[in-house]
Amino acid sequence: MAQLPPNRWNFPLVDSWPDDDVVCIGADLEASTLVDAYSRGLFPMYVDRKHTMLGWWSPTMRGILQLDDLRVTRSLRQSRGRFTVTVNQAFEDVIGSCAGISRTGGWITSDIIDAYQELHRLGIAHSVEVWNHANELVGGLYGVRLRRFFAGESMFHHERDASKVALWFLVELMQLDGMTLLDTQWATDHLRSLGVSEVSRPEYLALLNAATAPQH
């Protein structure tokens, strides 16, 4: 990972965080800000529809996927044979496809895209791409890696099971590389069906600290 200058913003200390998913508002989307935020258990998302108020979130109940808990069904195993999977070959296309999904608030804005493309250029943000036999990008995901921690930001699919295949491939890569924590932010019904569970904020921060600590 590239060496970054210190974050020029002072995020609140954990002891002062409110009992709310939004911890604070402000700062910027510079690479040093983002990396510092993720290392503290925060991630950015606008809190208003006009995208003028940048919030830093740490859900009181955090969605995580214990790597051994991923649910791989028989139909998903069959689906995987229909696709080719790559890593970091089409980051811009993946984040663009994620931004194109219709969702409340449309939180992946142009400045979010620019910020994470810069993180990708620095070797911090990564994508998994899923291609069909016509070499069309039909699914994928992107997120941020810090040592043994991966923050999943978003995923998309244009063909059935394509995003699930991307997640499965990510989990395999993480296991091979000795990574320990896959953060999904929240545990939606869809993510729960894949094996995602919830932990409290203090539990999450303990797991994060362990995953991002230097190994001797």
pLDDT in tens, the chain (216 residues): 668 999 999 999 999 999 999 999 999 999 999 999 999 999 999 999 888 999 999 999 999 999 999 999 999 999 999 999 999 999 999 999 999 976 544 689 999 999 999 999 999 999 999 999 999 999 999 999 999 999 999 999 999 999 999 999 999 999 999 999 999 999 999 999 999 999 999 999 999 999 999 987
Is there a domain that residue 79 lies in? Answer: yes
pTM given for the model:
0.95
Residue ending a domain, among 41, 59, 77, is: 59
- Written as six digits, the tokens of 17 are 């965080």
Query: Looking at residue 159, what DSSP letter applies?
Result: S
Q: CA nearest 42: which of 66, 22, 28, 70?
A: 22
Residues 119 and 25 in one domain: no
Establish if 173 belongs to a structural domain: yes
Q: Would 1 be classed as within a structural domain?
A: no
What is the Cα–Cα distance from 178 to 181, expressed in whole angstroms? 10
Query: 159 with 51: CB under 8 angstroms?
Result: no
Contact 138, 132 (CB under 8 A): yes
Residue 49 sits in which domain range? 14-59
Integer Cα distance of 122 and 101 in angstroms: 26
Closest alpha carbon to 178 in 213, 206, 205, 204:
213
Q: Is residue 136 part of a domain?
A: yes
Hunting for tokens 């990008």 — which residue is that? 137
